[in-house]
């Protein structure tokens, strides 16, 4: 079983739809959870950063973490064509800047928002 599982999609939605992206993980030591957005042929861009369980909202984006189920989600409200990209979940057991810090990524979900 891979440490982080993410459905690669592709996922295609109409403009204005609510998008739900998910990852599951097996390593219970993971405490820090991130979502990155990656446009084609570009490096990943940090969208959301959460620690432990709970919700975090930033504009149209909401990140949820359920550590008991080892499940994290990213919701995009009022999706726009400019949201079309690959979304990668990432997680770490060590706080950033700490010793042995590294991120474990999911495969990424390719999202297309159609106008």
Q: Which positions ≥6 away from 51 have C-beta within 8 Å?
A: 31, 32, 33
| Three-point CA angle 54, 4, 31, nearest 5° | 35
Residue 71 engages other proteins in binding (rule: CB under 8 A): no
Using the rule CB under 8 A, give the single segment among 14-22, 37-45, 59-67, 69-77 that binds other proteins.
37-45
Residue 56 engages other proteins in binding (rule: CB under 8 A): no
Q: Among 19, 65, 88, 111, which residue sits at the site for other proteins (rule: CB under 8 A)?
A: 88
Half-sphere exposure of residue 26, counting CA atoms within 13 Å on the CB side? 6
Residues that bind other proteins (CB under 8 A): 4, 6, 8, 36, 41-46, 49, 88, 96-97, 101-103, 105-108
């Amino acid at each position: 079983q891979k440490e982080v599982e993410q459905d690669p999609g592709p996922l295609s939605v109409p403009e204005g739809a609510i998008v739900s992206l998910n990852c599951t993980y097996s390593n219970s030591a993971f405490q820090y959870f991130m979502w990155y957005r990656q446009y084609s042929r570009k490096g990943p861009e940090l969208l959301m950063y959460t620690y432990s369980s709970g919700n975090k909202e930033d504009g149209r984006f909401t990140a949820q973490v359920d550590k008991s189920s080892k499940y994290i989600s990213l919701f995009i409200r009022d999706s726009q064509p400019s949201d079309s990209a690959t979304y990668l979940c990432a997680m770490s057991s060590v706080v950033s800047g700490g010793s042995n810090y590294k991120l474990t990524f999911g495969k990424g979900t390719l999202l297309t928002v159609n106008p």
